Structure formats: C-alpha cells, structure tokens
Amino acid sequence: MLEFQSIRWVSLLAVMVSVGPYSGPALGDHRWPDQRQVGPLLCHADFPLDKYLPFFQEIAELQTDLVATLGVGKTREYIHLYLFSKRSTYQRYLREHFPGVPYRRALFVKGHGPGMVFAYASGDFQVDLRHECTHALLHGSLPMVPLWLDEGLAEYFEMPADQRQRGSPHTGPVRRAALFRRVADVQSLEAITGIDNMSGRDYRQAWSWVHFMLHGPAAAGDELRSFLGDIQAHVPPGRLSDRLTQKIPDLNRQFVRHFRR
C-alpha cells in the first residue's frame, strides 16, 4: 500500500535553478498544515490534500513508467514538493526564499541537496505536476539529461498514461507539419543551451522526437534507451541525433512516415 505524498519539478514554463544550501522543512514541520509521503515524494502543502490522494498515487506510479519505458534507474533521492493553494502565497514564498528568480507557474530548484518543486493549485495543476515530477525523477536518477530531451520527455509524460500516445495538444500541429514533410530539426534542439531560449515550437518539436522514439521504429526506442543508459553509466553519450542517424539512415523519412500514419 502506498503512503501518501506528492511532487513536482519545472512546469511547461520550466526553469532549473541552481542555488546554494537551502534547508527545506522535514515532515512534521508545523508551518505546513498537510504533509504526506508517497515513495520518494515528500509533499508539504498549505491546504488539505485528501481529495488529491488518487492523483498523487498516479504520480507515484510515474517512476515505474519511467523505469519501464526508458530503462533508467529509480531516483536516488527524496524530492520535496511545496504546494500552495493561492498564486499570491506561492509568489510571496518564492520572493522570500529565492529573490531574483523569474516567475514561473511551477519551479524546480536543484541545489546541492534533494530536488525541490514549488507549485500552486492552478487550473493546470495536474499537468504541471506530472511534467515537473518527470524532471525531478529523471534528475534524481541520471547525472544529466540534455535540455531538449529533458523537456521533450516531460512534455510527453505530463499527460495521463492513457493519453500519452494520442492525447497531447502537440499531436495536431506535428501531424499537420508532417503532411508537408516538415521535419523537426533535432540538431537545432541539441544546440539550445538555456531554458529561456526554448520557444513553444521548440517544446513541441522536442515532444515530437520523444514520441517518434517511443512509438516509432523499434530501433529509435532502443537507441534512446541506450543513450540514457550511457548517461546513467557515466559514459559520454555523444549526440543523440548522430546515434539515431547511424541506426536509421533514412531518419527524416521515418519521422514523417510516423506522423502521417
């Protein structure tokens, strides 16, 4: 049986912020009216979490999905999630503890200790939490993840499990582009060095390559898992675009074919 807990990382507006030491509260800290735990996720909230229990159980299963789908290991650390009922309270807390950090609907902070996720109960609360938990769980397992792939995976796993293959809002635009044989340029994605440099189009294209690797030719999925396996083993992985082209010489044609099916 799962014990209760929740988490999140960086939303679709995501940023990863490197900070100095920060002591997050332990479970039992009186400043947080409701605190729960599910697996590696430690949740601190300023509002009752009871009605979110089924959702947090779903979030806890996200780690199982990542392990099974990507072949990565489980997170090596606890992840703290700080939840606020109001946007104003959320913003005030961030201004106090992380002055100068630009506003985001949800924020993942990784310093020298466990990862921390900050979010408020917006209309996109569940999507945001899935997105950020994907970031948090990946970075709790892997020493690094290329930015574009990190965001592409988070965009993919932010949907409920039964909607990941066909239910993303990215599906329509990508399929329309494929009708005109427009291929997302993965090398351009690999060249992006900062989250602030990623546009909405970049997020969509990153998602499209993840979707292709997970639901397209078996060789593409195998190469993604091999790439992440090298990262996990601290072996320099090279560029994923080069590895995919080596395994699938007609890569762009296969990409277009995948989204025209």
CB 202 within 8 A of CB 148: yes
**Segment among 2-11, 74-83, 221-230 with least mean pLDDT:** 2-11
Confidence of residue 25 (pLDDT cuts 50, 70, 90): low
* Cα–Cα distance list, 159 to 16, 124, 128, 154 (Å): 21, 11, 9, 9
Give the integer Cα–Cα distance in Å for 49 and 14.
Answer: 24
Q: Give bridge partners of residue 79 from the DSSP assignment.
A: 41
Give the integer Cα–Cα distance in Å for 130 and 8.
Answer: 7
Query: pLDDT at position 30, please?
Result: 59
Query: pLDDT at position 17, please?
Result: 45
Identity of the residue numbered 142: L
* pLDDT of 21 higher than 80: no
* pLDDT of 230 higher than 90: yes
User: Which sign, positive or negative, has the C-alpha torsion 151, 155, 161, 166?
Assistant: negative
Q: What is the pLDDT of residues 114-145, one digit of tens each?
A: 888 899 999 999 999 999 989 999 999 999 99
CB 36 within 8 A of CB 3: yes
Confidence of residue 101 (pLDDT cuts 50, 70, 90): confident
Query: pLDDT at position 129, please?
Result: 93
Q: What are phi and psi of 49, to 5 degrees?
A: -105, 0
Q: What is the pLDDT of residues 156-184, one digit of tens each?
A: 999 999 999 999 999 999 999 999 999 98
Confidence of residue 10 (pLDDT cuts 50, 70, 90): very low
Query: pLDDT at position 2, please?
Result: 26
* pLDDT of 9 higher than 50: no
Query: pLDDT at position 113, please?
Result: 78
Confidence of residue 11 (pLDDT cuts 50, 70, 90): very low
- Listing from the earlier edge strand, what are the strands of the sheet with 116-120? 16-17, 106-109, 116-120, 79-84, 41-45, 34-38
* pLDDT of 36 higher than 50: yes
Sequence length of the chain is 261
Give the integer Cα–Cα distance in Å for 62 and 248.
Answer: 29
Query: pLDDT at position 116, please?
Result: 86
- Helix 251-260 to helix 200-215 angle, to the nearest 10 degrees? 90
**What structural domains and CATH numbers belong to the chain?**
16-141 (3.40.30.160), 148-260 (no CATH)
Give the integer Cα–Cα distance in Å for 136 and 116.
Answer: 8
